[in-house]
Amino acid sequence: MGRMSGKRAIITGAGSGIGRASSLLFAQEGAQVLAVDLNESVHETAELVRKAGGQVDAMTADVGNEADVRAYVARAMSAWGGIDAIFANAGVGGGALPLGEQTPEQWMEVLRVNLIGPFLAVKHASVPMIAQGQGSIVCTASVAGLRANAGGHPYSASKAGVISLVQTTANSLTGTGVRINAICPGLIETGMTRATFDYARSRGTSDRIGQLNPMLRHGVPSEIAHMALFLASDDASYVNGQAIAVDGGLSSTHPFKRRRT
């Protein structure tokens, strides 16, 4: 019996990175998974899950479009008759332009995907969860939403918004049996961060990636997936309204320059 045996779970941003790792892990632990992504690579994720013996369906959707969110929730309901967990993980980086060069349009797109997307997931997936008296909502925030110097302005603001969304929603869902929590990843090697990793490797400085945290390394998608699994499962039955950092200890201190030994 897996930790998600008999559970029905939606995972967004499932076409790569954290979402793909989570789809594989949730299915391995017994969940029926609906993998959702804007990119067609979500079908590659589904094929990987099937090859590993998991139960999965896949569809493309824009998580910041309410009609698409209604569609993926409806698909899950049609297939399973209920939803036990949703991992609202999809997001975009938004770049790192200087403040004076940023535009309202850039901000609006980052906020649409990174913050409105989770809001819509909460709005629509919570309805069947409330009706059945239980469920778990997990959102991907970031250490960039906790304090400065971990991301660009719009990205960081959007992730701070996700943390607030989780906290306020936990209270809005009082007494329903539905929990909601956020994961705050540190530096993880995914499609979103690939340019950073490729640049460091091209300069021969890949050994310095992640040097600001006490573990002196970056993270990998499976490490975030395991936290998502915990929060989505009954193991986290008394965890609610929290923003949990999975960052190698980066957020335990203020930024500083580590001395080379």
Give 1's pLDDT tier (boundaries 50, 70, 90): confident
CB 63 within 8 A of CB 12: yes
- pLDDT above 80: residue 25: yes
For residue 59, what are the β-bridge partners? 36
Active-site residue, selected from the candidate residues 72, 155, 199, 238: 155
How far is the CA of 27 from the CAs of 9, 22, 31, 49, 225, in angstroms? 9, 8, 5, 7, 12
Distance CA 38, CA 54 (A): 22
pLDDT in tens, 79-131: 999 999 999 999 999 888 999 999 999 999 999 999 999 999 999 999 999 99
pLDDT tops 90 at residue 53: yes
pLDDT of 143 higher than 70: yes
The three-class DSSP label of residue 85 is: strand
pLDDT reported for residue 52: 97
Q: What is the pLDDT of residue 255?
A: 67
- If one compares 223 and 259, the residue with the highest pLDDT of the two is 223
Would the pLDDT of 242 be above 80?
Answer: yes
The answer on pLDDT for 193 being more than 80 is no
pLDDT of residue 41: 98
**What pLDDT band is residue 190 in, cutting at 50, 70 and 90?**
confident
Can you list the domains of the chain with their CATH numbers?
Answer: 8-191+221-245 (3.40.50.720)
Please tell me the predicted confidence (pLDDT) of residue 216. Answer: 87
- Residue 40's CB: how many other CB atoms inside 10 A? 10
Q: Which two tokens stand for residue 160?
A: 């701070």
Q: What angle in degrees, to the nearest 10, is found between the helix axes of 221-232 and 17-28?
A: 50
CA 11, CA 136: separation in Å to the nearest integer? Answer: 12
155 is catalytic: yes
Give the model confidence (pLDDT) of 198-241 as tens digits: 666 667 665 667 688 888 888 999 999 999 999 999 999 999 99
Q: Is 53 left (phi over 0), alpha (psi -120 to 50) or beta?
A: left
Q: What is the pLDDT of residue 107?
A: 97
* pLDDT(183) > 90: yes
Provide the pairing of β-strand 85-88 with 55-60.
unpaired
| DSSP summary character for residue 219 | B
- Please report the pLDDT score of residue 208 as a whole number: 67
Q: What pLDDT sits at residue 99?
A: 93
DSSP conformational letter for 88: E
Determine which helix (DSSP H) or strand (DSSP E) holds 225, and give its type and residue range: helix 221-232
Say if strands 178-185 and 243-246 run parallel, antiparallel, or are unpaired.
parallel
DSSP for residue 7:
-
pLDDT of residue 195: 67
Whether the CB-CB separation of 141 and 163 falls below 8 Å is answered with: yes
Whether the model clears a pTM of 0.85, i.e. scores above it, the answer is yes
